[in-house]
């Protein structure tokens, strides 16, 4: 399925139906009087969070959505039929913006009952409503009121507990495929992952957490380089980060410098991102020279307050302790959402390896 996380659409509620102009014409009732009924109400527009959806793809190819209009009123004081409402299904984490003003109108995160977004117009009154003692044959009716309409921008920010960040080929896709049922594309060239991948990871018995593999993070990502800001928004809702550091020959430059570069991109995108807990994961320790280097670098990261784990997603080494530690931190934050991180002190990004 193609991943689409931003679309623009036009949405309009239904118009109210027109009131009816009618007089009774029945045998043996010479003075029947007015009997025009009211028009029906226009259909409303609702948004509904659908947990089965993970993309805004359905809105990429169709941009105009309108609820049904109310039917006109009828004779014999019959009310026109109300217009059918329209329900727009979106994935959890969808933000609804007014396209013209940029105002955030709704943040749709919880599945449940449909949320009324645009109200349909009321139906017009028929001429029977205007009969008085002095005007027994009114010929006046009302048109229906137009339904509300807006130009909208829908933007998806994935809802995940843990965000996986790291340079291309750091092993994020391999890790998420090793600890969950997700099957992202894995290959030995940069930018293998072109869309965010979600994986559900079991831990602590019957509990689960959601991992998001965020692609395209390189130096300058906050300015749009690589896949840039298109995917940085998807890490904003996560509770903590797993920062994968690749010590193999796949990455150019010093591993600690690369670590600093990505944290700087996170800061430039949103300063609050570095306030989230961050666990360092030194990957690919199944390679002998990587294992030796990882043992030395582990102490440096931990001296800066970063809990650090050595793993091999290929052999499975170190994965259970990592998942256990992440699960414990998530549990603690859910119970004490405002508590200070107890896994370390705030990072000092200007420090150099000793």
Residue-wise pLDDT for 107-151, tens only, equals: 998 888 899 999 999 999 999 999 998 898 899 999 999 999 999
pLDDT of residue 342: 44
Strands 149-156, 6-12: parallel, antiparallel or unpaired by DSSP? antiparallel
The answer for residues whose C-beta is within 8 angstroms of residue 142's C-beta and 6 or more apart is 18, 19, 39, 124, 125
The residue whose two tokens read 């609050």 is 272
Is the pLDDT confidence value at 28 over 80?
no
DSSP string, 136-156: SS-----PPPPPPEEEEEEEE
Beta bridge partners of 202: 208
Give the domain ranges of the chain: 1-156, 162-335
Strands 94-98, 240-246: parallel, antiparallel or unpaired by DSSP? unpaired
pLDDT of residue 228: 47
* Fold observed for domain 1-156: Spo0b-associated Gtp-binding Protein; Chain: A, (2.70.210)
Is the pLDDT confidence value at 185 over 60?
no
SS3 189: coil
- The H or E element that residue 246 is part of is strand 240-246
CA distances (Å), origin 4, targets 11, 110, 183, 200, 281: 19, 20, 19, 21, 29
Question: For residues 38 and 136, what is the distance between their CA atoms, to the nearest angstrom?
Answer: 18
Confidence of residue 349 (pLDDT cuts 50, 70, 90): very low
pLDDT of residue 292: 85
The architecture that CATH gives domain 162-335 is 3-Layer(aba) Sandwich (3.40)
Confidence of residue 219 (pLDDT cuts 50, 70, 90): low
Is the pLDDT confidence value at 162 over 80?
yes
Strands 240-246, 308-310: parallel, antiparallel or unpaired by DSSP? unpaired
pLDDT of residue 182: 60
Confidence of residue 227 (pLDDT cuts 50, 70, 90): very low
Beta bridge partners of 211: 162, 199
State the chain's mean pLDDT as an integer: 82
pLDDT of residue 30: 65
CB 25 within 8 A of CB 32: yes
Is the pLDDT confidence value at 304 over 70?
yes
pLDDT of residue 153: 94
CB 102 within 8 A of CB 8: no
pLDDT of residue 225: 44
Confidence of residue 246 (pLDDT cuts 50, 70, 90): confident
Confidence of residue 221 (pLDDT cuts 50, 70, 90): very low
Which of 176-180, 226-230, 319-323 ranks highest by mean pLDDT?
319-323
Cβ-in-10-Å burial (0-12, 13-18, 19+) of 180 comes to: buried
In Å, how far from its chain's centre is CA 259? 27
Query: pTM of the prediction?
Result: 0.68
CA distances (Å), origin 15, targets 42, 122, 192, 326: 5, 7, 49, 52
Give me the mean pLDDT over the 63-90 stretch: 95
pLDDT of residue 336: 60
Question: For residues 299 and 306, what is the distance between their CA atoms, to the nearest angstrom?
Answer: 10
Is the pLDDT confidence value at 36 over 60?
yes
pLDDT of residue 237: 80
pLDDT of residue 2: 57
pLDDT of residue 176: 86
pLDDT of residue 189: 37
Give me the mean pLDDT over the 10-23 stretch: 96
Is the pLDDT confidence value at 152 over 70?
yes
Confidence of residue 234 (pLDDT cuts 50, 70, 90): confident
């Amino acid at each position: 399925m193609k991943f689409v996380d931003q679309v623009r659409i036009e949405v309009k509620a239904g118009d109210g139906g027109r009131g009816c102009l009618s007089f009774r014409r029945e045998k043996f009732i010479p003075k029947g009087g007015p009997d025009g009924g009211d028009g029906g109400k226009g259909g409303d527009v609702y948004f509904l969070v659908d947990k089965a959806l993970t993309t805004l793809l359905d809105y990429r190819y169709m941009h105009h959505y309108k609820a049904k209009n109310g039917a006109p009123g009828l004779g014999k004081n019959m009310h026109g039929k109300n217009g059918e409402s329209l329900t727009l299904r979106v994935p959890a984490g969808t933000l609804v913006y007014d396209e013209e003003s940029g105002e955030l109108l709704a943040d749709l995160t919880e599945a449940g009952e449909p949320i009324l977004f645009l109200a349909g117009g009321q139906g017009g009154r028929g001429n029977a409503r205007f009969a008085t003692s002095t005007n027994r044959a009114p010929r006046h009716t009302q048109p229906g009121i137009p339904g509300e309409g807006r130009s909208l921008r829908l933007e998806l920010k994935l809802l995940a507990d843990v965000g996986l960040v790291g340079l291309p080929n750091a092993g994020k896709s391999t890790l998420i495929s090793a600890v969950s049922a997700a099957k992202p594309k894995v290959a030995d060239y940069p930018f293998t992952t072109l869309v965010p991948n979600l994986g559900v990871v079991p831990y602590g018995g019957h509990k689960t957490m959601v991992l998001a593999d965020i692609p395209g993070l390189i130096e300058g990502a906050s300015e749009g380089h690589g896949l840039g800001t298109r995917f940085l928004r998807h890490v904003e809702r996560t509770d903590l980060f797993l920062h994968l550091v690749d010590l193999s020959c796949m990455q150019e430059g010093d591993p600690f410098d690369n670590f600093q570069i990505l944290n700087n991109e996170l800061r430039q995108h949103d300063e609050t991102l570095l306030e989230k807990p961050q666990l360092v994961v030194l990957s690919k320790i199944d390679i002998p020279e990587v294992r030796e280097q990882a043992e030395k670098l582990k102490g440096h990261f931990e001296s800066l307050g970063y809990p650090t784990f050595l793993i091999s997603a290929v052999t499975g080494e170190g994965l259970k302790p990592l998942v256990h530690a992440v699960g414990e931190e998530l549990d603690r934050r859910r119970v004490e959402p405002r508590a200070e991180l107890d896994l370390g002190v705030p990072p000092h990004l200007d420090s150099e390896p000793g």
